[in-house]
Structures are given as C-alpha cells and as structure tokens.
Amino acid sequence: MTRLLGSGSLVVALGVAIYAALALLAGARRKRTDLLRSGELALYAVWGLVTTATLSMVYALVSHDFSVKYVAMVGSRATPLFYTVISLWGALEGSILFWIFVLTSLSALVTYQNRDRQGTLVPYAGGVLMMISIFFLIMLVGPANPFGLVSPTPADGPGPNPLLQNHILMGVHPPLLYLGYVGMSVPFAFGIGAVLSGEIENDGWIRLTRKWSLVAWMFLSAAIIAGMWWSYEVLGWGGYWAWDPVENASFIPWLTATAFLHSVMVQERRGLLKLWNLNLIVATFALTILGTFLTRSGVLSSVHAFSEGPIGRYFLGFITIVLISSFALVAGNSERLRPTGNLDAAVSRESVFLLNNLFLTAFTITVLVGTLFPLVAEAIRGVKVSVGEPFFNRMTLPICTALLFLMGVGPALPWRAASGDVVKRQLLPPTVVAVIALVVSLVIGVRSPYALAAFSFGAFALAANAREFIDGAAARRRAHGESPPVALARLVGGNRRRYGGYIAHLGVLTVTLGIGASSTFRAEREATLKKGETMAIGPFTVRLDDVYRRDEPQRMVLAAGVTILKGGREVGRMEPRMNFYPTQDQPVPTPSVRTRPAGDLYINLQAFAQDGSNATLRVIQEPLVPWIWAGGMIVVLGALVSLGAGLKERLPARAAVRAPAAPRPATAALEEAAR
C-alpha cells in the first residue's frame, strides 16, 4: 500500500511537473494569465505529490515495510528510530527522493513568496525549477526508483551503512548540504528567468537572486563545516579535511557562490560585472550537479558512492544540457549585459572585489582540476592515479593568503577611488597588528611559511574587520551617547547587510585560526598499553584501565576505558571504541574526543589483543579545533544578520513594483550620495 502510494505519487508528479514547466514557460512567453495560474497550481501540486512520496518512504522505513526495495536495502529492525528516519538519505535512491523533496519545496516557497510580483521573471524561474525537477523525477521513476517491490518480503534488512549510523551529525550534515546544493537552483532559475523575461536589463531580479544565493550559501557553509566535524568525530584519523573528492565536490560550488556574493555588490553599486555574475550563477548550479554526479555515480570510491548504476550517464547528460543551453542563452544576451559604469580607479573597493573574484576563480579551477584529473587520466590513458594532498596545499595556500589580505583591505577602502591618505590611515593599524602577530608566531616557534602567512594575514584581516565594529560603535557613542552594547547593536541593525558580511568574515577568520593552530601545533603519539600502563602527551598522561565488550541491540561495542591525568590529578575518563555491525566485516572506529576551548584531546582505539590484555591507542592533541566549528556558526550568524536586511526591504520593494515605475533621478542621486 505504502509502496503504491509512493511510486504512484512520483509517476503522477512527473506528469504534472511536465505540465507545470510547459504551462509556466508558454504562459510567460505569450503573457497568458490563465496558463500562468494553472502552471502555478500544477507547481504546488508537484510539491504535494513529492511530499506524499517522501512521507510514504519515511512511513515505510519506520514501519519496517521490507517489501519496499529501499527499506530492504537500508532498514533493519535493530536500528534505533533516529537512524531509521535519517536513513532516508543514507543511500542513493532515498537521497534523490530527499533532493527532489527539497527542490520542490523551495520551488513552491519561491513561487508563493513572489505570487504578487508583476512581470514574467517568477513564472520563468518556476518553469526552470520544474525542468530541473523533471530530471530528478525521471531518475526516481526509472533507474533510481526506491519503491520497487521485493518479493518474497524479507523478515529483516541489513540496516544503514555503519559509518552513517555511528554519529548524530549524520542527521545534520546531509540535510544542510541538500539545502545548500538544491538552494543554488533558485538563483540559477532566477538568472535564466531574468534573461528569458528580459528583466535582465533592470536590476530588480538581482535582489531576489542575491537573497537566495545567500540562503543557499549559508546552508552550504554550515554543511561543509558539519561534514568536517563528522569526518573528525567518526573516521578516527584526527583530521577534518583531506582534499578528498567528496569534500571538494561540496567546496567548489561554495567558492563560486562566495565569489558571486562579493561581485554582485559591484553590480549593484557600480553597474559592472553583469555578464560575469550571470556566469557565476550558472557555474555554481552546474557545479552542484557535477558534485552530485561525482559523489553519487560511483566514479569515485568513497562512503558517499552508493552504487555503480546507470545514474552516472543520466547526470552527465543533464550537466551537458544545462551547460550548453544556459551558456548559449547567456552568450546570446551578452549585449544586454554590458556594464553601465566604469572602473574609476585601481585602488578602490570594487577593484578589491575584482581581485577577490580573480583569486576565488583560480581557487575553483585548482580544486576542480585536482579533483577531475584522476577521472580524465583514467578515461584517456587508462591509468589509475590520485592527486596528492601536496598539490592542493601548495596551490591553494598562497591563494588563501591573498584572500585573507583582501578580506582586510576590502572593508577598509571606499567605493570608486581611495586617496593615498585614506589608504594609509585605514591600513596602518591592521598592518601593525599583522606585524605583531608575525613576531609572536615566530617567538612561540612557528616556522612553516604557510602558518606564518596564515597567522599574520589572518591577524591583518581580523584587525581590519574588527575595526569596522569598534570605530562605528565609537562614533555612535560620541554622536548619541549610547552605551557600547547598544551602540554596537544599533550599528549592526542599521546596516545589517554590511555588518552581516563583516560578521561572516570574522567567522571565516575564526575557522582559519582553528585550522592554522590545529595543523601547526598538532601532537600525535601511538602506543600499545597494557592495563594500568600510561603514556604522556603534552601536559596529559593517558592511562589504560580496561578493555571490555558491550552488546547493544544493533551492534557490538569493544571499548577501552582510559583515564586522563594532568599534573598527577584525574581530569577525565574517555572511552574510545570500535563498533561492530553484523553486516560489515570491518569494525567502525569510534574515537573519543575531549573538547575544551583551548583544544581537543582525541583518542582512537587502533587495535586490541584478543584476550583483552592490551590495546593500541592513538592519542592526538589538537589545539583550537573547536574554534573551527564555532567559526562555522559565526559565519551562519553573519549570513542570518544579512538576510534580516532582506526582510525589512521586502515590503517597500513590493510596493515599488506595483507602483508605476517612474524614474526619479533626484532621489536616486540622493541615495547614491548617501552611500
């Protein structure tokens, strides 16, 4: 029953989505309101049908209906409820179902939010979103159907991949990633919609696009950090980033989206980079699809590669269609995307944004080349190769340094042109801070040029961004006599977009500090201890107390009881484990992490003697690791503060759209002057 409801909803959704796409596109082209209205309703219906299918799947999972193919693949009676529900995205078919659920939800939300907007931008965008939905629905009805029948019905299933049911972050990272990835479809749809509707020539569409890019970027940022955190807490190697193709797949669109969020300001303020921005939107979307192809098709072997089916070819075909049609569309309209302003001076905020985009593009190309090279080498020369981490580090660390520098220079420089005096006044204090940071780093023994560059340029950017808050609040305090917290709150509240951006900068710098410190000052020791024996690392002494077994419903746990001593005093107990799942011949390492603001103590159980007499432990001391996760949260906070600005803008913006658009040069000039 559940099976029929689910697969039936998907088939009907495919038909309705085709109708919705045709009705919206044709209705927008011929300006037929009746078609547009029915297309809009069809779009909501697609959302309802997909939601029904998704809920059917959740119900099938929770009720252990093993006649459903997907449940038979990932379900098991012994799996705890939480991991049963989240196994919705634990394998290929379910993850595509979840993808289309997010996509149609966003489509419905965008359409509903802008239901009163005049012009054909939104219907065209809705049509584009429905076209994307059609692709994913075809996959779900065809090669990746999760509702297939299993006969005879098995009594029990194998349960989700152990790596995916070993940590609570598996309930966090994938949904965030989907919201980020799928969210990038919305700016893409608006970009294409703007070209198709002719609204590309006035800048109204860019406000919508910017807001949605920021929303998707926020989720993607959070997802990347959560993925790092998961890898750190689960995989047992004590690291969080290895330039693994799967990590890169989420990082590459983040880079282009970050470039867009900066360069779009140049378009809004100065009328430059219009063509470039549209290309960035298209590229970001194409890169999310490429990322999905890389991680879902089985061309890479990793925890994300679920199977080697025909999925890959569908994705490649889809990417080709997206790239050819959108770049053809953009190129055909390039005349209408000519800049309406000039770059006045080499030293100005817009030129910093230009450089920022140049470096982010180089960053994107580097990571993309390093990720795709093994695939190309295997396809062309038939050799199996991988690109080593040194490639990524040596290529990207100088780029990161340049970006840190620009992150400090950008906020300090005015638009249009900066005089030598302004440059000196603005950049001198951060430079002093940078030199102090450099000296301090040298004194405490940092010798790696990369780490020195990261710490000093990071301090430079930190000082420059923090100064915006300090100086701004101080000025308010002088002018209005406000207390420091009130002044700071009103400063941020008065220009949420700008200060939200600076808060995001501070978050990125916090992440940088965490990564720099934890990779520079990492200490690691591995030893085999008998019960009662100890080993020392940094200020800590680690003592093995016991090795024991514990049976849990869905798994068996083998654990080492460890006591942590500092200065002869007991400060804590830790329990690194190995979890044995009945369907896997290899145990899943489950490191134990003791987190303090100053850093983590990380213990992984590497091996143990069969008689329980000893255990081999890897102990890692990593300073400031939690700052990476905290920095990610600050980035999200910054994005939320910026988005708050959009809420205030929306009401007057809507009124302005309805009113006849009479040119008001006097007020426009005044507004420009006020900036």
Q: Which residues bind other proteins (CB under 8 A)?
A: 73-74, 158, 161, 163, 303, 305-307, 362, 365-366, 369-370, 373, 377, 383-391, 394-395, 526-528, 547-551, 556, 558, 578, 580, 582-587, 606-612, 614, 616, 618
User: Three-state SS for 103?
Assistant: helix
Q: Decide: 246 and 220 in contact? Cβ < 8 Å.
A: no
10 Å CB burial of residue 627 (0-12, 13-18, 19+) is: buried
From CA 287, how far away is CA 251, in angstroms rounded?
10
Q: Are 304 and 181 in contact (CB under 8 A)?
A: no
Contact yes or no for 270/417 (Cβ under 8 A) = no
Quote the longest CA-to-CA distance of the chain: 86
Neighbours of 382 (CB within 10 A): 7
Which amino acid does the sequence have at 639?
Answer: A
Q: Which residues pair with 590 in a beta bridge?
A: 577
Q: Which helix (H) or strand (E) holds 592?
A: strand 592-596
Q: Alpha carbon 264 to chain centroid distance?
A: 19
Burial (CB count within 10 angstroms: exposed 0-12, middle 13-18, buried 19+), residue 343: middle
Please give the Cα distance from 476 to 78 (Å, whole number): 61
Q: The tokens of 44 are what?
A: 């909501």
Distance separating alpha carbons of residues 358 and 96, to the nearest angstrom? 34
Q: Give the closest residue to 348 by CA, choosing from 430, 414, 411.
A: 414
Supply angle C-alpha 434, 438, 440, rounded to 5.
115
Give residues with Cβ within 8 angstroms of 9, minimum separation 6: 49, 50, 52, 53, 56
> What is the rounded CA–CA span in Å between residue 111 and residue 400?
38
Cα-only R_g, the chain? 27
* Burial of 406: CB neighbours in 10 Å, binned 0-12, 13-18, 19+: buried
With H, G, I as helix, E, B as strand and everything else as coil, classify residue 595.
Answer: strand
End-to-end CA distance of the chain: 62
DSSP 88: G
**Strand pairing report for 523-530 and 534-537:** unpaired
CA-CA distance, 124 to 36, in Å (whole number)?
A: 10
Q: Which positions ≥6 away from 621 have C-beta within 8 Å?
A: 522, 523, 524, 537, 538, 540, 599, 600, 601, 602
The reply to whether omega before 591 is within 30° of 0 (cis) is no
Are 256 and 364 spatial neighbours (Cβ–Cβ below 8 Å)? yes
- Closest by CA to 509, choosing from 600, 354, 401, is 401
Nearest to 132 by CA among 155, 163, 110: 110
Q: Output phi, psi for 618, to 5 deg.
A: -110, 120
Its sign, for the CA torsion 600, 605, 611, 614, is negative
Distance (Å, whole) CA 529 – CA 218: 45
